[in-house]
Structure 1
Amino acid sequence: YQHRAITEDLYWIGGNDRRLALFENVYPIPRGVSYNAYLLMDEKTVLLDTVDKSVSNVFLENLEHLLGERQLDYVIVNHMEPDHCAALGQVLHRYPEAVVVCTQKALDMIGQFFGAFPALRSQTVKEGDTLTTGRHTLSFVMAPMVHWPEVMVTYDAADKILFSADAFGTFGALGGNLFADEIPFEGQWLEDARRYYTNIVGKYGSQVQALLKKAASLEIQMLCP
């Protein structure tokens, strides 16, 4: 199984695509790209984002393996772009009791992307709303146009982690490396990170600055983009 522990109860369950030549059919990605999703195993179980369809099979295997006999209680949708949520429909069919937590705009998009779910359980959130899962309290920070209008980011007050959606993202597939001290970032990743920022979110400069000001008010010890 291709998952990795980040903390004692948080796991990375994303995937990597080294076959894709162009990201969004526009931007060359000779080193591939990663799709990052996270599973929190608290008193309630929480999936933060899903992955692109190209790696959905291994993602679903990892999710099922980590959950074991437990149910999935919540799915937090930070961003509706397919590299973040293409597997959402499959997740909800497998775990129909899960509650989708997202902005109202994201909830509207779910119907446009996946059609109507007969009994979709949802909880829409606004700036500053919180979700307590046991030891963890998650709060939601709106990030419109970074870089779609429905975007939010999620902050975990217990471990001081920001799940930052496209913010702080970069091109490049992972090779087992998740943490900053496992790679020479400036030598190997900075060029791709700059190219990602410039092409994906850089044109929304005022919105990026607004989100950075919000982030500055949080005590952040780890970024999970």
Structure 2
Amino acid sequence: MKRQVKNNVYWLGKLDWELEEFHGSDYSINHGSSQNAYLILEDKKVLIDTVWRPHTNEFIDNLEKEIALKDIDYIIINHGEVDHSGCLPYLMSKIPNTPIYCSANAVKSIVGQYHHPEWNFNVVKTGDVLPISKDKSLVFVEMKMLHWPDSMATYLTGDNILFSMDAFGQYEAVAELFNDKADKCLLMEEALKYYANILSPFSPLVKKKLEEIKKLNLEIDIIAPSHGAIWRDNPMQIVDMYAKWCDNYKEDQITVVYDTMWEGTMKLAHALAEELKEQSPTTVVKLYNISKTNKNDIMTQVFKSKAIALGSPTVSKSILSSVGGWLHFLQELSLKGKKAAVFGCYGWSGEGNKVLREELTKAGFEVIDQEEKCSWNPREENFENMKNIAKELLK
């Protein structure tokens, strides 16, 4: 069923309480999620986005309760990813000539996915305007790489609503729909997790786009993203947070991350975490075993941290595969301005620390010289050296 956003603008999406993962299995969902679509009932009837294909029947049934499909004048697709365009094939089979407004790159992604080049595509770019009534228009703003090359936002004049696509959203099912009704702590936690794991590789582009939007002098009363809560109470608060997050963000926090084979590296990790807290009681210290904690939740804490320490035993002249995979993901995120330390146990050849150091450097971290390379199980002198590592990380 539709729910009013403002005046003649309605939410018509899907609250997916059972969703546990996204982007294949690459992103963990802890609190459900939503795919937000919007219906504008002005002189022109406009559908902004759809929902994921598994929910097509439910979505179309709900849509038809509000409007005859043939009465939809325009379809806006802000982003071609399947969780927003998934209902298009069915919808277009019913109303095949309906104009679709999207970016040039979205035509490529939509045709590439659904193989319908004959659809009535209308390419728009930043600043293009589509009137929908005597005193209201849609203004399009390209949002390249936030987070696909085809992404854009749509602004509704008069009601001052920015349909921001994936930007400013969260993977969270918010039954109350609006940010002022949601759990505020959880809302911001999920918004940060989304930014850290999805948007952080594009932080320089986020920074430029925020500056560009500011120059457009749009009066924004509501930010309506494609996932999670709609920002109607102080909507610019999430824009302000993005401005912080995109600028080499860090807090007074250090995160210790490791995996272990026979607990030696685990003992070093715990000793380091305790030493960090001892030397700097005000610093937040987090400790995670890569094999026991979801990688997205760990990475959210790494994003917040000013420094990390990473540990792995040496295995076959390298590191544990769990740590190797985690490092590959870390490199994708292109974090900047953070320090790192390495540590680990070995029995025979001891190349693990060298591999950790090389991979962290590739990930953009400043790796300190101090390290702990422990032969077999840790002794007192190995634990003692964790004091030196902690001191260097805290400088």
Q: Deviation of residue 117 (structure 1)?
A: 5.2
Show the counterpart of 1:211.
209
- C-alpha distance in structure 1 between counterparts of 2:37 and 2:143, whole Å: 18
8 A contact 2:153–2:162 mirrored in 1: yes
Please tell me whether residue 22 in structure 1 is matched to residue 24 in structure 2.
no
- C-alpha distance in structure 1 between counterparts of 2:159 and 2:51, whole Å: 23
Aligned ranges for residues 55-134 of structure 1 at < 5 Å? Answer: 55-68=55-68, 71-116=71-116, 118=118, 120-134=119-133
- C-alpha distance in structure 2 between counterparts of 1:94 and 1:201, whole Å: 35
Show the counterpart of 2:39.
39
Show the counterpart of 2:156.
156
Q: Deviation of residue 105 (structure 1)?
A: 1.2
- C-alpha distance in structure 2 between counterparts of 1:171 and 1:69, whole Å: 29
Give the structure, 1 or 2, with the largest relative contact order (CA under 8 Å, sep 6 or more): 1
The 1:145–1:182 alpha-carbon spacing in structure 2 relative to 1, beyond 3 Å, is same
TM-score in terms of structure 1 length: 0.93
- SS for the counterpart of 1:164 is strand
The 1:111–1:69 alpha-carbon spacing in structure 2 relative to 1, beyond 3 Å, is closer
- SS for the counterpart of 1:93 is helix
8 A contact 1:17–1:55 mirrored in 2: no
- SS for the counterpart of 1:203 is helix
Show the counterpart of 1:137.
137
8 A contact 1:100–1:122 mirrored in 2: yes
- C-alpha distance in structure 2 between counterparts of 1:92 and 1:106, whole Å: 16
- C-alpha distance in structure 2 between counterparts of 1:67 and 1:95, whole Å: 13
Q: Which ranges in structure 1 are unaligned for 5 or more consecutive residues?
A: none
Show the counterpart of 1:199.
197
- C-alpha distance in structure 1 between counterparts of 2:49 and 2:201, whole Å: 24
- SS for the counterpart of 1:112 is helix
Q: Deviation of residue 161 (structure 1)?
A: 0.5
- C-alpha distance in structure 1 between counterparts of 2:47 and 2:183, whole Å: 29
- SS for the counterpart of 2:148 is coil
Q: Deviation of residue 18 (structure 1)?
A: 2.1
- C-alpha distance in structure 1 between counterparts of 2:195 and 2:169, whole Å: 8
Alignment deviations for residues 174-224 of structure 1 (CA, whole Å, 9 cap, x no partner) = 22x1122212312x3221111111111122001111221133232111001
Q: Deviation of residue 55 (structure 1)?
A: 2.1
8 A contact 2:12–2:36 mirrored in 1: yes
- SS for the counterpart of 1:47 is strand
- SS for the counterpart of 2:189 is helix
8 A contact 1:16–1:55 mirrored in 2: no
Show the counterpart of 2:187.
189
Over the aligned positions, Cα root-mean-square deviation in angstroms equals 1.5
Q: Which ranges in structure 2 are unaligned for 5 or more consecutive residues?
A: 226-395
8 A contact 2:69–2:94 mirrored in 1: no
The 1:96–1:210 alpha-carbon spacing in structure 2 relative to 1, beyond 3 Å, is same
Q: Deviation of residue 21 (structure 1)?
A: 1.7
Instruction: Find the structure with the greater CA-based Rg.
Output: 2
8 A contact 1:73–1:97 mirrored in 2: no
